């Protein structure tokens, strides 16, 4: 096992990884920016280091500062969390070059999956279902129009190096294509320092279903079933659950088995998630692969009983899957996570401010992941996630009731929050029926306003 691991992140995921390190008896190093000097999770770490000013590029994205912490603390591992540098293959390589273990897949897998069209090609080559789409667009407007025609409208323009729904534009008519491509390229350049964009078939009212996998250093890969993350606002997930509701088990488990088999064949070697869209016809198509721990890993942990962060650390340290995971993994009950954001419930505008009151709910089957405590300041420098509330119960309906009850008991004052929106969605007939899709949140919220 590793001796000492730097947690190169902040907030709820830093707290989560520090807990996992403590449970494994591994020494931990937490880092913090000026804005996070009061963060409660710093108390969980064996050592803490200040790494810079509040803006992320000066702290949590500052590779040199993080590598310096690695050197000075004599740590032999670095966990990147999610977001920030977690999918930066150059940073992963630098950590390895410094003689430490990067807790994640090999840099070559981060690189291969980070580029969307190359990842799509790889998936297609290995027989995973991939929707119609193009490679990177080369700027020839006639070729672009022909490609869109071949895919069939509506099409989606997407950044090749992107993520998080940034720079995605739907195009319904040929005359809108050129302007959309130009705008997407400009957003992509600004957001990801890479202006490459491509076209994909726009699946209307799709479901977002993803497969959780874990690989080891020998390239053995197993899946830990699926999550449904269809409930989104601004192309970002707000409610996630496992198992996916209202899908035949054999349909989704066949997909999960196929995903694990393909990743095993290519030698994928740590934690990852393969995101798929499911059309109204039940067809899956490959969307992308995230080569890191996901924000929603907790729902999988609740239903499988596997500590994914500890498993990821043990895999990175060289243990084999047969040592890390039980021989048979099954799902027990149903788990749903709601992301509580500091943003208003109507327009989803961010709302930084002081947490004058912050009392997360407690109760049977309720788990809360947060990096905040009462009295702390929520700044405009980072994402608006205040807490993840996870409910686990024997059935989906019971999990929904438990989650609604917990959210309503969550006391938050000083910043606006999206709890009213989350509760409205969880209570809606559409969500309760399990017929979820990525447009559900907008439809429900338009009605209750």
**Burial bucket for residue 447 (CB in 10 Å: 0-12, 13-18, 19+):** exposed
DSSP collapsed to 3 states, 35-76: HHCCCHHHHHCCEEEEEECCCHHHCCCCHHHHHHHHHHHCCC
x-or-dash string of contact with other proteins, 274-293, rule CB under 8 A = --------------------
Q: Which stretch binds other proteins (CB under 8 A): 5-13, 103-111, 351-359, 440-448?
A: 351-359
Q: Which of 225, 293, 296 is nearest to 256 (CA)?
A: 225
| 3-class DSSP state of 211 | strand
x-or-dash string of contact with other proteins, 295-334, rule CB under 8 A = ----------------------------------------
Residue 295 CB, shortest distance to other proteins, in Å, is 14
CB 3 within 8 A of CB 26: yes
Please give the residues from 382 up to 401 whose contact with other proteins meets the rule CB under 8 A: 382-384
Query: Is residue 63 a contact residue for other proteins (CB under 8 A)?
Result: no
Q: Which of 142, 127, 184 is nearest to 160 (CA)?
A: 184
Query: Is residue 135 a contact residue for other proteins (CB under 8 A)?
Result: no
Say how far apart CA 91 and CA 100 lie, in whole Å: 12
**Which of 31/386 has CB closer to other proteins?**
386
Q: Out of 342, 419, 421, 423, name the contact with other proteins by CB under 8 A.
A: 342
Query: Is residue 350 a contact residue for other proteins (CB under 8 A)?
Result: yes
Residue 348 CB, shortest distance to other proteins, in Å, is 8
**Which of 26/415 has CB closer to other proteins?**
415
Q: Out of 37, 72, 380, 442, name the contact with other proteins by CB under 8 A.
A: 380
- Burial of 202-213, coded b for 16+ CB within 10 Å and e otherwise, reads bbeebbbbbbbb
Residue 347 CB, shortest distance to other proteins, in Å, is 8
**Which of 83/131 has CB closer to other proteins?**
83
Token digits of residue 385: 């996630």
Query: Is residue 267 a contact residue for other proteins (CB under 8 A)?
Result: no
Secondary structure letter of residue 318 according to DSSP: T
| Annotated catalytic residue, options 222, 292, 314, 402 | 292
**Which of 207/381 has CB closer to other proteins?**
381
User: Which helix H or strand E contains 8, and what residues bound it?
Assistant: none
Residue 378 CB, shortest distance to other proteins, in Å, is 8
Q: Out of 76, 111, 302, 343, name the contact with other proteins by CB under 8 A.
A: 343
Residue 51 CB, shortest distance to other proteins, in Å, is 19
Q: Which stretch binds other proteins (CB under 8 A): 219-227, 317-325, 330-338, 345-353?
A: 345-353
DSSP letters for 109-170: HHHHHHSHHHHHHHHHHTT----SB-SS--S-HHHHHHHHHHH-SSEEEEETT--TTTT-EE
**Which of 80/167 has CB closer to other proteins?**
167
> Within a 10 A sphere around the Cβ of 223, how many other Cβ atoms?
22
- Burial of 45-69, coded b for 16+ CB within 10 Å and e otherwise, reads bbbbbebbebbbeebbbbeebbbeb
Residue 352 CB, shortest distance to other proteins, in Å, is 5
Please give the residues from 208 up to 237 whose contact with other proteins meets the rule CB under 8 A: 234
Residue 272 forms beta bridges with which residues? 213
Q: Which of 226, 325, 230 is nearest to 277 (CA)?
A: 230
**Which of 41/84 has CB closer to other proteins?**
84
**Which of 219/352 has CB closer to other proteins?**
352
The reply to whether 292 belongs to the active site is yes
Q: Which stretch binds other proteins (CB under 8 A): 42-50, 65-73, 245-253, 347-355?
A: 347-355
Say how far apart CA 226 and CA 297 lie, in whole Å: 10
Residue 208 CB, shortest distance to other proteins, in Å, is 20
**Which of 169/406 has CB closer to other proteins?**
169
Q: What are phi and psi of 253, to 5 degrees?
A: -75, -30
Say how far apart CA 7 and CA 47 lie, in whole Å: 11
CB 41 within 8 A of CB 371: yes
Query: Is residue 352 a contact residue for other proteins (CB under 8 A)?
Result: yes
Number of residues located near other proteins, criterion CB under 8 A:
13
| 3-class DSSP state of 415 | coil
**Which of 135/352 has CB closer to other proteins?**
352
Residue 292 CB, shortest distance to other proteins, in Å, is 17
Q: Which stretch binds other proteins (CB under 8 A): 120-128, 269-277, 379-387, 417-425?
A: 379-387
Query: Is residue 163 a contact residue for other proteins (CB under 8 A)?
Result: no
Enzyme catalytic residues: 292
By CB under 8 A, name the binding residues for other proteins.
234, 342-343, 349-353, 380-384
């Amino acid at each position: 096992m590793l001796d000492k691991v730097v947690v190169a992140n902040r907030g709820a995921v830093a707290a989560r990884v520090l807990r996992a390190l403590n449970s494994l008896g591994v020494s931990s190093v937490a880092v913090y920016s000026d804005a996070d000097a009061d963060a409660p999770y710093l108390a969980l770490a064996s050592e803490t280091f200040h790494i810079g000013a509040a803006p992320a590029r000066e702290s949590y994205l500052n590779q040199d500062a993080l590598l310096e912490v690695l050197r000075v603390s004599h740590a032999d591992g670095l966990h990147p969390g999610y977001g920030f540098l977690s999918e930066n293959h150059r940073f992963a390589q630098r950590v390895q070059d410094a003689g430490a273990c990067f807790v994640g897949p090999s840099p070559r897998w981060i690189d291969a999956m980070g580029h969307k069209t190359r990842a799509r090609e790889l998936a297609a080559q290995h027989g995973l279902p991939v929707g119609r789409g193009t490679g990177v667009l080369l700027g020839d407007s006639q070729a672009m129009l022909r490609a869109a025609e071949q895919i069939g409208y509506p099409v989606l323009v997407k950044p090749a190096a992107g993520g998080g729904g940034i720079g995605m534009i739907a195009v319904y008519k040929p005359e809108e294509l050129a302007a959309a491509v130009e705008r997407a390229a400009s957003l992509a350049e600004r957001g990801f320092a890479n202006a490459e964009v491509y076209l994909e078939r726009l699946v209307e009212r799709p479901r977002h279903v993803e497969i959780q996998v874990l690989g080891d250093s020998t390239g053995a890969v197993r899946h830990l079933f699926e999550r449904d993350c269809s409930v989104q606002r601004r192309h970002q997930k707000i409610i996630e659950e496992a198992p996916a509701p209202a899908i035949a088990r054999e349909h989704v488990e066949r997909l999960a088995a196929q995903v694990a088999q393909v990743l095993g064949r290519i030698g994928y070697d740590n934690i990852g998630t393969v995101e798929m869209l499911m059309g109204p016809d039940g067809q899956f198509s490959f969307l992308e692969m995230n080569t890191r721990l996901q924000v929603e890993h907790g729902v999988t942990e609740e239903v499988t009983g596997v500590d994914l962060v500890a498993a990821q650390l043990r895999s990175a340290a060289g243990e084999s899957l047969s040592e890390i995971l039980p021989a048979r993994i099954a799902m027990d009950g149903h788990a749903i996570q709601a992301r509580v954001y500091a943003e208003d419930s109507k327009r989803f505008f961010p709302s930084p401010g002081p947490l004058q009151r912050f009392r997360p709910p407690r109760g049977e089957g309720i788990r809360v992941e947060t990096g905040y405590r009462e009295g702390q300041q929520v700044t405009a420098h980072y994402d608006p996630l205040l807490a993840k509330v996870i409910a686990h119960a024997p059935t989906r309906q019971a999990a929904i009731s438990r989650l609604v009850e917990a959210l309503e008991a969550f006391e938050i004052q000083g910043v606006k929050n999206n709890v009213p929106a989350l509760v409205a969605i969880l209570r809606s007939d559409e969500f309760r029926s399990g017929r979820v899709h990525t447009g559900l949140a907008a439809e429900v919220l338009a009605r209750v306003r």
